[in-house]
Amino acid sequence: MAKVSKKKASKKKTRSGGAEQSNEGHPDVVYDDEKEEDATDEDITVEDEDEHDERKRQKLLEAIGTLSGKRKKTLGERSEAAVHMSEFTVNAEGEGDKVDLSDLIGSIEKTPGLSGKSKKRLKNLEQSRKTIECPLSKQESERIRRDLAFQKVSKEVSHWKSVIRQNERAEQLVFPLNQEPSGPKPIERVVMGWKAQTPLEQEVFTLLSANKQPINDPILTPTEEASMKAMSLEEAKVRRAELQKARALQSYYEAKARRQKKIKSKKYHKVLNKAKSKDFQKQFDEMVKRDPAAALEELNKMEMARMQERMSLKHQNSSKWARSKAIMAKYDEGARKAIQQQLEVNKDLTQKLVTSLNKEEEETMEEDGNADVVPDFVNDAEQGLDFSNPWMTGKLSQDCVEKETSNAVTIRAEENVAEEEEVEETEEEVLLREFDSRRKRRQAQEADAAVILTEEEEEENKDASDKEEEELSEFTSLFKGIAEGCGEADTAAELEKELKIRCLEDEELLTQDKEAEEEEEATDKGPVVPQHPPATENGQKTGKSRKRRKGIELKQVLTKGAQVLQVPFAPTIEDAEDSEGKLDQRGLIKEAFAGDDIISDFLKEKRKQEDAGKPKVVDLTLPGWGEWGGGGLQPSCRKRKKFRRKMTPPPPRKDQHLPGVIISEKRSSSIRLHQVNALPFPFESPSVFENTIRSALGRTWNTERTVKKVTKPKVVTKLGAIIEPMTREELVKDKNRASAGSSSSVKS
Amino acid sequence: MKVKVIARNPDDYVRETKLDIQRVPRNYDPSLHPFEVSREYTRALNATKLERVFAKPFVASLDGHRDGVNCMAKHAKSLSTLLSGSCDGEVKVWNLSKHECVRTFQAHEGFVRGMVVRYCGTSFFTVGDDKTIKQWKMESPGYGEEEEPINTILGKTVYTGLDHHQNDPVFATCGQQVDIWDEQRSSPIRSFTWGVDSFSSVHFNPVETELLASCASDRSIVLYDMRESTPLKKVIMTMRSNTLSWNPMEAYYFTCANEDYNLYTYDMRYLAKPIMVHMDHVSAVLDVDYAPTGKEFVSASFDKTIRIFAKDGGHSREVYHTKRMQHVICIKWSADNKYILSGSDEMNIRLWKANAAEKLGVLAPREREAANYSQKLKEKFQHHPQIRRIARHRHLPKTIYHQTKELRIMKEARRRKERNVRKHSKPGSVPVVSEKEKHVVTVMK
């Protein structure tokens, strides 16, 4: 150790001065006492002798020095290296005392505990001749440490940059930052701190825990959670959307069904049922083509229903209700209709399917159908009107037949026969049947108006008799016209047309009205009856006219509001009074402003302004300059011409082509007071600034939503809430946001 | 005679429920509104005038101290509680909503130099001229009990400032050195020195909670990290800074109140140049506090005024003064961003509104909408000369008015001289030094 310190000392000496350069390489003799003690025993003995010699020599030197009398140097023992060092104290003998690293670590070789690796390293160290650089001064090292720490901190702090920038750009900041969302809290958060206390609660909780039901977090059971995990977010979203759609559709259907159910109109339901059956028929036909097996099944089902119907007495008019209705039917139209409807249902259900081939059964069935308990007049009533009657809908030629025949009670039997005939008829018999119908038609004509009168009566029930007669006469004449005007073969077709039209009308009305049936009928017939043509035209024409009339009717039915809207505003009907009134007013105004002629005044003013703006000729002649001057003397003509200056004309006025406007391009001092005269700071171009000014903010010029958006305050604080400083959570949030944003951008 | 009547469909103007907004038929086609800008201008002008009419910022004065109010502290959890310490060592706790003193006790001998409420709001610390740090309970002692601190630390030197960590039981004091204390220990866990200084204030960063900054008498501001053993950086300015305040929403910005009548906002990463110089005071600025939103700050000055600056505004947007208010020593911005509290030499604490013309209390929705609209109008037309003139008009005490004028003249003269020197010397030999650079002497690493 001592030797090492010696080395250091020598080094310092070399630095300290050039004078001691020569001593380089010699070990220093001066060292600390304490260090001396540290040295090994051998060293001490050697050095003791050395020291002894040295002291002697020094004393001798001192003595010599005193002799010279020059100066007295007290070179005492030194404990540290110093600049002032006597060259005589250098000991040349110290060579042998130099301690090598090998001396120090020599013993290591022998120690068995040390690993080979460290031994090797030590050996390397021994061989290297490099000296260790002296450590930096305290100030320097501190500065470096500070610098490093500062860099670290500033880097750390810079993470806030994005948050700060975002807040600066934000249109609105809401403080406090970590506000709890208003509104109801999720139940699990409310329940969080709650614990079971009463025995009942405890019991419940043990039950829950036994069944692996959630206790603290009552939202999801473990299985539910697992399923949640299994489903990804996208899937869940898609599924939810589907469910929502299904729910919405269901609600629509429900609403529709409810609405339909509410509709009281029987006609509507009739039409609906018909449509349904038609649909069903269509589907069935398709099914026959596509999937015969399923069709067969369906057929069986229908057959089954038919059988059940036949077996049961549900629609057989044998119920108490039906009987009571049958009694009432004589007087009440509604009851009659109801019974008829029931009969219809019965017929529908008991009808043998078309596909079946066995005729016999059909026959029997028909017979069954005819063998009703219902009194006959129920069937008779208003058969001409009721198109939903299957007898009328299916075969039109027969319909008319029936219509005519059923009117008269006397033809009852005949009709029955006819019906039976119908049942048995085949296609070959169509011709025959037509002939028959013609015959019957003739009969009907003969049966005269009285027959039809009854029909009409039944239709309307309440009309005054004379009016009725009028209508009836029209009606009959129509019929006559039909019968006479064209061939009898046509009549059936025409009638069919007519009926169809009427059907259409009915349907249209159905869609519109929700009124009581009577009213309906009234509206239905009101326009129909009086507009029968006076029977001069043939059937075709009547049909057309009806169609046209129907169009007009439609317009009438249309909401009047729409019609009003279509009427133009200005050119309303100019009544004589109105125009008179206007004239009066005009005259009044004229009279009132008779004195002043505004237009000409305005034009004058404009001309004046224009004149003022025109350049004037400037006369720059100086009288007396270069000529004789004095009173009464005029400058010469030539000079005046020479010095007369015409100014260049200004650019054309902006109101040049606008006769009714004066545009002044002069600066108005009163307005200038309110105008911005320099581009304000944050703006870079006047156009941007002008744009910000141009867009209005108020609700007079903007929609409510825009106003709300535009007038949003920049900082919103909650009343009475402490605004805490920003926390590190914000940083985390921002990072998440950024990562989410980047991922989304990658996706898109 | 035919009578024609204008027909109106109630569907067009009757609202379905009373919760709906009123239906006002309007045609928003801009070609139909040629005068919208001028109409809005008029509205903006009126709004600005009304704002000046309603600008009554002074709310209340809390008197009771028997010496100048030297320091104040906001309660961490309660908006209505304020603590104040005076120059005679007395501490008072105030109820702001009732405008009354709740508790008074003698905390120190000599000045109460600093006080701070612990983050939980249950206790607070005070330091005084008697070289002690004391911790007190927030609730007043029961009947018959004496006011006694929970904890007292006897120091070797006078402590001049105090601040508490945002969410750890650690606080910092400053005096001859900056010390970091653990609440549980009676000796500092860390001490920072950098040359021989005396520090006037120390403040924790509320966002990056381990950072601190202090103002020293050698005209410097020193930054520290609690986790490091050495200070971080030091900036020396032309004059001494009295205090500083960190922006509570922006981690690396702080503003210091300087003796040279200005305030400087620094980015702590780049100390060579402040990012903004806030001028307007006409005497030394003694205290500064940021609004909790971090958008504005308020400063108290020796010139007997309080000024409110936008964080990036070179000049104040508002100045408050009263006839009786003397040198304002301490200032605080309330935690709900609504009020400003100032403690001044003449023993009073004053409560001000942060927005002078704002209506206090709950606003009806329509009221709020109207306020928002007029605010936006004012912003939109703020550059128009008439509106700016009215909005900027403030009445100032005569002395301050004249001093401002004088300062302006001096500044102008200095500028003129500099210009002349530059003109008459070799090009480039007199560089142009911006106002921001002028006030920083060096940054020491």
Contacts of B77 in chain A (CB under 8 A): 722
Q: Are A172 and A205 in the same domain?
A: no
Higher pLDDT, A247 or A592: A247
Per-residue confidence (pLDDT) for residue B251, from 0 to 100: 92
**Is the model's pLDDT at A43 over the cut of 70?**
no
**Is the model's pLDDT at A308 over the cut of 50?**
yes
CB B373 within 8 A of CB B337: no
Q: Are A241 and A353 in the same domain?
A: yes
Residue B40 lies in a domain: no
Q: Which of residues 233-262 of A touch B (CB under 8 A)?
A: none
The residue range of the domain holding B185 is 59-353
Domain endpoint, select from A393, A409, A437: A393
Residue A459 lies in a domain: no
Q: What is the CATH number of the domain that holds B212?
A: 2.130.10.10
Per-residue confidence (pLDDT) for residue B94, from 0 to 100: 96
Number of structural domains (chain A) is 4
Contacts of B27 in chain A (CB under 8 A): none
Domain endpoint, select from A97, A130, A164: A97
Q: Which residue has the tokens 């600005």?
A: B48
Encode pLDDT of A267-303 as tens digits.
Answer: 888 898 899 989 988 988 888 888 888 888 888 888 8
Chain B touched by A670 (CB under 8 Å)? no
**Is the model's pLDDT at A640 over the cut of 80?**
yes
Q: Are A52 and A158 in the same domain?
A: no
Residue A184: DSSP 8-state = P
Per-residue confidence (pLDDT) for residue A62, from 0 to 100: 80
Contacts of B39 in chain A (CB under 8 A): 698, 700
**Is the model's pLDDT at B441 over the cut of 80?**
yes
A vs B, Cβ pairs < 8 A, gives: 152
Neighbours of A680 (CB within 10 A): 12
CB B331 within 8 A of CB B29: no
Residue A690 lies in a domain: no
Residue A473 lies in a domain: no
Inter-chain touch B207–A578, beta carbons under 8 Å: no
Contacts of A575 in chain B (CB under 8 A): 2
CB B369 within 8 A of CB A711: yes
Q: Are A53 and A157 in the same domain?
A: no
**Is the model's pLDDT at A663 over the cut of 70?**
yes
Contacts of B381 in chain A (CB under 8 A): 693
- Across B224-257, b (16+ Cβ under 10 Å) vs e yields bbbebebbbbbbbbeebbbbbbbbbbbbbbbbbb
The mean pLDDT value for A730-734 works out to: 85
Question: Of the candidates B310, B250, B247, B267, which has an alpha carbon nearest to the alpha carbon of residue A163?
Answer: B250
Burial class (CB in 10 A: 0-12, 13-18, 19+), B159: buried
**Is the model's pLDDT at A429 over the cut of 60?**
no
Q: Of A55-59, A463-467, A633-637, B391-395, which has the strongest mean pLDDT?
A: B391-395
Among the partner residues A154, A717, A728, nearest to B269 by beta-carbon distance: A154
Among the partner residues B28, B41, B295, nearest to A703 by beta-carbon distance: B28
Q: By three-state DSSP, how is residue A265 classified?
A: coil
Q: Which of residues 551-610 of A touch B (CB under 8 A)?
A: 575, 577-578
What backbone phi and psi angles, to 5 degrees, belong to B296? -140, 165
Q: Percent of chain A scored above 70 by pLDDT?
A: 53
As a whole number of angstroms, the distance between CA A383 and CA A408 comes to 12
Per-residue confidence (pLDDT) for residue A376, from 0 to 100: 46
The residue range of the domain holding A168 is 142-176+718-748
Give how far A660 is from chain B: nearest CA, Å. Answer: 18
Inter-chain touch B207–A673, beta carbons under 8 Å: no
Residue A70's pLDDT band (boundaries 50, 70, 90)? low
Q: Are A244 and A338 in the same domain?
A: yes
Among the partner residues B41, B335, B386, nearest to A673 by beta-carbon distance: B386
Inter-chain touch A175–B383, beta carbons under 8 Å: no
Per-residue confidence (pLDDT) for residue A583, from 0 to 100: 63
Give how far B232 is from chain A: nearest CA, Å. Answer: 5
Residue A708 lies in a domain: no
Q: What's the whole-model pTM score?
A: 0.58
The mean pLDDT value for A305-333 works out to: 79
Residue A691 lies in a domain: no
Inter-chain touch A673–B268, beta carbons under 8 Å: no
Domain endpoint, select from A346, A369, A393: A393
Contacts of A567 in chain B (CB under 8 A): none
Q: Are A253 and A380 in the same domain?
A: yes
Question: Of the candidates A53, A56, A13, which has an alpha carbon nearest to the alpha carbon of residue A31?
Answer: A13
Residue A252 lies in a domain: yes
Amino acid at A628: W
Residue A428: DSSP 8-state = G
Per-residue confidence (pLDDT) for residue B217, from 0 to 100: 93
Inter-chain touch A674–B36, beta carbons under 8 Å: no
Number of structural domains (chain B) is 1
Inter-chain touch A157–B292, beta carbons under 8 Å: no
Show Cβ contacts of residue A196 under 8 Å, excluding neighbours closer than 6 positions.
A202, A204, A205
Residue B421 lies in a domain: no
**Check: complex ipTM more than 0.90:** yes
Chain B touched by A154 (CB under 8 Å)? yes
B92 pairs with which residues across the strands? B84, B104
Q: By three-state DSSP, how is residue A740 classified?
A: helix
Inter-chain touch B386–A703, beta carbons under 8 Å: no
Residue A682 lies in a domain: no
As a whole number of angstroms, the distance between CA A711 and CA B372 comes to 6
Encode pLDDT of A486-502 as tens digits.
Answer: 444 444 455 555 555 55
**Over chain A, what is the mean pLDDT?**
68
Which of B269, B296, B388, B389 should we substitute to test contact with A (largest number of A Cβ atoms within 10 Å)?
B269
Amino acid at A556: Q
B442 pairs with which residues across the strands? B236
Residue A698 lies in a domain: no
Encode pLDDT of B369-389 as tens digits.
Answer: 999 999 999 999 999 999 999
Q: Are A218 and A240 in the same domain?
A: no
**Is the model's pLDDT at B148 over the cut of 60?**
yes
Q: Are A243 and A353 in the same domain?
A: yes
Residue B15's pLDDT band (boundaries 50, 70, 90)? confident
How far is C-alpha B348 from the chain's CA centre?
18
B116 pairs with which residues across the strands? B125
B371 pairs with which residues across the strands? none
Residue B168 lies in a domain: yes
Q: Are A246 and A351 in the same domain?
A: yes
Strands B69-74 and B81-86: antiparallel
Residue B312 lies in a domain: yes
Which of B334, B337, B358 should we substitute to test contact with A (largest number of A Cβ atoms within 10 Å)?
B337
Encode pLDDT of B312-361 as tens digits.
Answer: 999 999 999 999 999 999 999 999 999 999 999 999 999 999 999 999 98
Per-residue confidence (pLDDT) for residue A546, from 0 to 100: 46
Q: Are A245 and A375 in the same domain?
A: yes
Among the partner residues B39, B77, B385, nearest to A676 by beta-carbon distance: B385
Residue of A nearest to B212 (CA): A153
